[in-house]
Structure formats: C-alpha cells, structure tokens
Amino acid sequence: MENETNSRQYDSVYTKKVRAGRRRTYFFDVRQTKGEDYYITLTESTKKFNGDGYERHKIFLYKEDFNRFLESLTETVDHIKTELLPDYDFDEYTKRNQEWEEKRRQESNDEGQHSQTSSEAPAQAKPDAPVVDEPAKEFESEEDMEW
C-alpha cells in the first residue's frame, strides 16, 4: 500500500514534451500529490556527449507561483524579443523544428513501409494533421527516454 501511495505521488497526469535539437528535450509534467493537489515539474534532459546516459535538471513549480512565474517568464522573453534582439526571426527555430519533425515522421513511415508485406497498405498521415502528444508515462531511468 505504501509503495502504491509513493508511486502515485510521482505519476504524471499530463505531459508535454518539447524536443530542442538532437541532444536536449524539455518535459512539462503535471503531477498529483497525495492530497490530490497538482504541481508542475519542468525537466531539461540532455544527452551526454559521450553517449553514456542523460543529464537532467528539474524545477518544481507549485500552483501558488503559477501566475507570477508565467508573468515573469513572458516579461523576460518579451524583453529579449523587443529590446535585445528586435530584428531576429524567432520563428526560424520553429520552422526548422517542424521540418526536422516532418523528416523524422517520413523516415519512420518509410521504415514501416519496408517492413510491411505488399498486401498491407500503410496508414498515411495527413501532412497538416496536428501532432498529438504521447500519453504521460514515467521512465524507469533516463536511458528509457526516447530521443
């Protein structure tokens, strides 16, 4: 019973994964406490250069800080965009990431087609279909995370 309770404390009820290049991924997890309250963990996971596992950094964000945190983050990002780098195209990275994700999907589809017999028709994804986040799950270790 105690293990079940401890396990529940760390279960994610919602996860948003943001890939940031080939080596870094951000995880935004909503977790539930024993008292059925919610908090957010922000995790930066970076693949080590020697390929031997991952390095993680976490921030725990509690509901009483949500508004101030979001306001300060927005203010800080806006300051960079308007005052420090007003001529920079911040959408460049979004476009590049979308191209990279589409290439990954296409390679994955191509691999799936090669493994199917000729009688099986591959499922075709619509190019404009929204990307759906994977359901929340816990990882036994950092090595279990998908890259």
Name the pTM for this structure: 0.61
CA distance 73 to 41: 15
| Residue 89: strand, helix, or coil | coil
Q: Which domains does the chain have, with CATH numbers?
A: 2-107 (3.10.450.700)
* Sequence-ordered alpha helix ranges (H) in the chain: 2-9, 66-79, 91-115
* Per-position pLDDT tens, the chain of length 147: 445 545 544 678 999 999 888 889 999 999 999 898 999 999 999 998 888 899 999 999 999 999 999 999 999 999 999 999 999 998 888 888 888 888 888 988 888 776 654 444 444 433 443 343 444 444 444 444 443
Query: Model confidence over 68-85: pLDDT tens digits?
Result: 999 999 999 999 999 999
CB 16 within 8 A of CB 134: no
